Copies of this chain bind each other. A is one copy, B any other.
Amino acid sequence: MKKYNKMKLLDGNKVASKIVEDLKQDVENLKKKGVEVCLGIILVGDRKDSETYVRMKKRRCKEIGIKNYDILLSEDVTEEQVLEKVNRMNKDPNIHGILVQLPLPKHINPEKVISSISVEKDVDGFHPENIGNLALKRLYRSSGDKIYPVMVPCTPEGCIELLDRYKIPIEGKEVVILGRSNIVGMPLSLLFLHRNATVTICHSHTQNLKKVTSRADILVVACGRKEMITSEYVKENAAVIDVGIHSVEDETRKRGYRITGDVHFNFVKSKCSYLTPVPGGVGPMTIAMLLTHVVQLASIHS
């Protein structure tokens, strides 16, 4: 493991690879039982970043034997057409999880589309009922004669899993989350609360932000602002999780850019005890959680 002074890197690539490797065995076992694990993906439009994310997810699926059923729709598709595709996937017993890549084009209401995904196939955990069950700390829900695990959004779940794999204690710790989005900050605050942390959420309206983030034993940064977090925001020996991902022009690199996060890595690395790199921190964990969800949902049908 690479060391910067006393700081340990939280190697998301390594942990995610281990998780995905274990899933491979599960997928094979399900196949023997006659269940071919399948993730349905709907991608609308041709945003470069969305295409990249979908490609990465599909590559990982392929590696471990999860089939994909993907539907590519052009930018000018109607909301009704998207809903119709979701509905077909809802009804298809061979598809175990459904992922609609966000963001959607502006003329399509994402809330409506996400809410139309069957709660039983909501691998992203964005459906209001899944979010509600998460908030209420319900781990399972029943539907018909089956018991389903409540799906939790992948990025927050990946952050917790990464801390757990490095045996970083959470209970009783002061956790500060910078950012309150529906896909990261908000659900992550609930997960930390369920793990008995003292949780603070801060955001653009927070006063004395540095003072607030400096209380954190565990600081999670998901504010979407490139390299905003420097050492003054970080308590000595904190564990810092960087959820951000940005592409920055860099002429010294062959490809002309580099990838960075919401944390200014070089300014923070010597002050904290643990830090996620970007890339290779939270990103791969998100995908590992997604695949875990697909396998969990497929297992119910075995």
A180 at the interface (CB under 8 A from B): yes
Question: A127: which B residues are within 8 A, CB to CB?
Answer: 132
Secondary structure class of chain A's binding surface, majority of residues: mixed
Nearest 10 pairs of A and B residues by beta carbon: A132-B132, A128-B132, A131-B132, A196-B205, A200-B200, A198-B206, A198-B202, A172-B205, A129-B129, A172-B207
A171 at the interface (CB under 8 A from B): yes
Distance, CA A273 to CA B145, complexed state (A): 55
Please tell me if the beta carbons of B198 and A201 are within 8 angstroms of each other in the complex.
yes
A214 at the interface (CB under 8 A from B): no
- Interface size of A in residues (CB-CB distance below 8 Å): 36
A42 at the interface (CB under 8 A from B): no
Distance, CA A180 to CA B182, complexed state (A): 19
Stretch at the interface among A134-142, A233-241, A282-290: A134-142
Copies of chain A in the complex: 2
Distance, CA A141 to CA B114, complexed state (A): 13
Question: A111's contact among B130, B138, B190, B193, by CB below 8 Å, is which?
Answer: B138
Distance, CA A134 to CA B182, complexed state (A): 11
Query: Which of A128, A134, A193, A201 has most chain B Cβ within 10 Å?
Result: A128
A212 at the interface (CB under 8 A from B): yes
